[in-house]
Structure 1
Amino acid sequence: MRSHEHAAIGALCSALAAALLARGRSLPTKLALWTYGLLLSVFIDLDHFVIARLKTGSWSYLTRAVRHPIWAFTEQESVFPDVRMKLERLTSHVLIGGALVLAFRPASRLLATFSAVVVYAHVLADLLREIEVA
């Protein structure tokens, strides 16, 4: 799934989650949650570069994306042309989501739950895209 698609899903999911989970909280708090959710829904995919590094032993995919960020966002299908990582990327998203929940839970039940909802939506969107492609 492309970044702009994850951004759209993340924006909608974060708005709904902030409205439902942060009832009674201030508007700035809800906006901060929404912003966090939007960023999380897009930037969780940076783990793909770590997976590519583990599989190939090279950071070349990351360095190419950093040198050509417009290409990396507009031609996402060609960022990892020879690296297969379907199961690994979904697994890493689940692990990241779990780690966020565990890290945030002692300090903020709201942030832990919100993170779980956003990562769940991201993984579900990826799974649905995989089913569509198959």
Structure 2
Amino acid sequence: MKSLEHAAVGAVVSAVAVAFLPEFSFLEQVGLWVYGLLLSVFVDLDHFVIARLKVGDWHHLTDALSDLRVAFVDQELVFPDVSITVERLLTHLLIGGVLVGGLAFVSVPVAVFTAIVLYVHVVCDTLRASGVA
């Protein structure tokens, strides 16, 4: 999915998940919502690391940074020469497992919130990769 699509889904999922965390103050809930929104978008930065491992250089990242319109609007042009579908789902799961596991030591509700946001992100990516959405 594109970043804007992940942001839209992340905003809704984060809002619903925050609604089930009444033990947090309003400002903490807003902070969690922002965290969920950002997480749902920026977890995709792992794609650049995968592309680097596959092609041997950082040209995908430098190209995206040199033309932010492509990075945010025409994202299908960011990785035209490399397929990273399976690897990106795997890295999302690995990042999610480490992040959720680490957060569980700090705050179980925040860890659960993180797991929900990342779960929906991976489901959306899987639906898009399979041609369903």
TM exceeding 0.5: yes
Q: Output the TM-score relative to the length of structure 1.
A: 0.95
In the other structure, the counterpart of 1:67 is 66
Measured after TM superposition, the shift of residue 24 of structure 1 is 3.0
- Equivalent position amino acid for 2:116 in 1: V
**In 2, distance between residues paired with 1:17 and 1:40?**
14
Measured after TM superposition, the shift of residue 130 of structure 1 is 1.6
In the other structure, the counterpart of 1:23 is 22
In the other structure, the counterpart of 1:11 is 11
Measured after TM superposition, the shift of residue 131 of structure 1 is 2.0
Task: Render the CA deviation track for 1:8-59: whole Å, top value 9, x for unaligned.
Answer: 1000000011111x11321101100000000000000000000000001100
- Structure 1: which 5+ runs fail to align? none
Aligned partner of residue 82 in structure 2, secondary structure: coil
2:82 matches 1:83:
yes
Mapping 1:99-114, distance limit 5 Å: 99-114=98-113
Q: Output the TM-score relative to the length of structure 2.
A: 0.96
Indicate the percent of aligned positions where both proteins have the same amino acid.
53
Mapping 1:87-98, distance limit 5 Å: 87-98=86-97
**In 2, distance between residues paired with 1:133 and 1:115?**
25
- Equivalent position amino acid for 1:27 in 2: F
**In 1, distance between residues paired with 2:77 and 2:24?**
42
**In 1, distance between residues paired with 2:3 and 2:40?**
9
Measured after TM superposition, the shift of residue 71 of structure 1 is 1.8
In the other structure, the counterpart of 2:2 is 2
Measured after TM superposition, the shift of residue 91 of structure 1 is 0.4
Measured after TM superposition, the shift of residue 133 of structure 1 is 5.9
In the other structure, the counterpart of 1:115 is 114
Q: Say what the alpha-carbon RMSD is for the aligned residues.
A: 1.3
- Equivalent position amino acid for 1:74 in 2: V
Task: Render the CA deviation track for 1:51-73: whole Å, top value 9, x for unaligned.
Answer: 00000110011011111112211
- Equivalent position amino acid for 1:111 in 2: V
In the other structure, the counterpart of 1:57 is 56
- Structure 2: which 5+ runs fail to align? none
**In 2, distance between residues paired with 1:71 and 1:82?**
15
